[in-house]
Amino acid sequence: MKIITDFVRKKIMRVGQRPLPMPGEPKPVNMTRILSNPRNILIIPYNRMGTILLSSRVFKALREHFEKAKITVAVHESWSVLIMKDPTIDNVVTFGDYIENPHSKEFREFAKRLVSNKYDLAFFLSYQFDPEIAYLIRLSEATLRVSFNSDDALDYFNIGITPATGTRYEVERFLELLRTVGITGGIRDYTMSINDSIREKARLRFLPAGIQPVSGRIIGFDLTREIVGQPIGRKNAEHVIKTLVNGLNATVVVFYEPEKTTLAAELKELFGKDIILVEDRPVSMMAGMMSFCRFVVTHNTDMFQLAIALKTPVISILDDSEVRQWSPGEQSYLLHLRRQDSSSWPTSSEILQSVKQLLKQTKLTS
């Protein structure tokens, strides 16, 4: 919990470098009337690919409860492809990296676009507070703005839902928020697929003729952005990759985020042709390359949630708290490999034993 608190504090300090001007509150709101028959609904999830995928699992509950309302979801342009064709929502609007700077002209202009749509109900779907997204929702001037309650959220929302204590699956938290305002529904098993065109583009880019994996076996490894918590260190990354390369005679596709470019380059220098580097944007290209992997090894990241949505065989290295908060539970294609803390990762033998179990469960042959 301290890691999450420190992360939020840093974001608040960044936002708070200069005072943020706040629009005046509208006239008193008839919450019952709006919740019984909203015409125009805005949803903004936490600004991470993984949490957008998690929030999409409750879109159906909102659609079934508000059949006649227009439902719009606002996300970063990098992740819009994940929900663009979702039949339970009506519209997707996108923002760019300027979302991290609420003082910027682009941020203000995007907020004005939201104001022009005259939303009467807005939801911030996240258990983690994000001051930039909260401020954006406040500037949208949606009449009724709903979020989980915290001291930091009081200036931005006029309905704050106090969450139950303890660690729970993130999607269950979203449903808890919705049920509190009278919206019932369950978790949708949202899945995605990769078409042949995307697969071929990924193959031509990363596996062109003449560049073939040494053994023919390709395994994915995760250096993408952690949803919360400390990023993976070089020592642990080296340990897992070395286990996969040597223990399975495999070529490892290392999926990395831009902020880990230096680490990815160091790993490439160390492992050479035994690894292939693939940046996590655009997400369609990452998904295309994941489809060539026999399985992927992830941790508490966006890639973990993408693997679940794609039903890609996955071994996820998580501690007990992360399992409860971020995982839907073990499946035939999903195994948890437990670790004690951020510095204590499974041994090589534990990793290989989990690989053996996953291959058996998914009926993959060596």
Asked if 142 and 42 count as a contact pair (C-beta separation under 8 A), the reply is yes
Q: Do domains 2-180 and 196-361 have the same CATH topology?
A: yes
What per-residue confidence (pLDDT) applies to 211? 56
pLDDT at residue number 351: 97
Q: Can the peptide bond before residue 282 be classed as cis, meaning omega within 30 degrees of 0?
A: yes
The closest alpha carbon to 148, from 38, 8, 23, belongs to 8
Instruction: List CB contacts of 280: < 8 A, sequence separation 6 or more.
Output: 49, 224, 225, 255, 256, 257, 286, 302, 303
User: What are the pLDDT digits (tens) for 303-316?
Assistant: 999 999 999 999 99
Rounded distance, CA 63 to CA 82, Å?
A: 18
Distance CA 308, CA 303 (A): 9
- What lies within 8 Å, CB to CB, of 66 at 6+ separation is 38, 41, 183
How high is the pLDDT of residue 342? 66
Give me the pLDDT at residue 69, please.
97
Q: Residue 107, exposed/middle/buried by CB under 10 A (0-12, 13-18, 19+)?
A: buried
| Tens digits of residue pLDDT in 17-67 | 567 888 876 678 889 999 999 999 999 999 999 999 999 999 999 999 999
- Mind listing the pLDDT tens digit for each residue in 328-337? 999 999 999 9
Positive or negative: CA dihedral 235, 241, 246, 251: negative
* Contact of 285 with 276, CB cutoff 8 Å: no
More confident residue, 260 or 214: 260
* pLDDT score of 100 more than 70: yes
Q: Tell me the C-alpha distance between 265 and 244, whole Å.
A: 18
For the chain, how many helices (H) and strands (E)? 14, 12
The predicted pLDDT at position 20 comes to 85
Tokens of 265: 């380059």
CA gap 5, 163 in Å, rounded: 16
Q: Is the pLDDT of residue 365 over 70?
A: no
Q: Provide φ and ψ at 75, rounded to 5°.
A: -145, 165
pLDDT at 215 over 60: no
- Listed by start position, the domains of the chain span 2-180, 196-361
* pLDDT > 90? residue 13: no
Q: Is 6 helix (H, G, I), strand (E, B) or coil?
A: helix
210, pLDDT greater than 80 = no
Fold of 2-180: Rossmann fold (3.40.50)
- Cβ neighbours of residue 181 under 8 Å, at least 6 residues apart? 35, 146, 159, 161
User: Binning pLDDT at 50, 70 and 90, where does residue 357 land?
Assistant: very high
**Pair 298, 314: CB distance under 8 Å:** yes
- Residues 196-361, CATH architecture: 3-Layer(aba) Sandwich (3.40)
Q: How far is CA 25 from the centre of its chain?
A: 32
**Interval 345-363 mean pLDDT:** 94
The answer to whether the CB of 280 falls within 8 A of the CB of 306 is: no
70 forms beta bridges with: 40
Q: Can you tell me which residue has the tokens 């470019």?
A: 261
Separation of alpha carbons 298 and 327, rounded Å = 12
